[in-house]
Amino acid sequence: MIGKNAGNRESTDQEVLQVIEKFVKNANEVKNILLKNNKDARNVDNEILVLSKYLPSKMSYEELENVIGDIIEVLKKY
């Protein structure tokens, strides 16, 4: 159980993020099942949207390319 394995300590940010990511993953699985069975998945979409707001944003491919390019340029100077 999160935050309980070492007494009554508070959960770490990483532990909380892992739980939210698990909820999002489960919601996506439920959404896929609903869509496969031609059911309405709007409530699940809303759940995913709300949960995703608590997760750090992911880098786009272009942003990642730019960061790697910047690192390469810095390393070329050495």
How does pLDDT run across 15-71, given as a tens digit for each residue?
A: 999 999 999 999 999 999 999 999 999 999 999 999 999 999 889 999 999 999 999
pTM surpassing 0.85? no
3: left (phi over 0), alpha (psi -120 to 50) or beta: left
- Residue 3's CB is within 10 A of a number of other CB atoms, namely 13
Tokens 């935050």 sit on residue: 3
- pLDDT for 53: 94
Q: Which residues contact 23 (CB under 8 A, 6 or more apart)?
A: 51
Q: Which long-range contacts (CB under 8 A, 24 or more apart) does 49-53 make?
A: 51/20, 51/23, 51/24, 51/27, 52/24
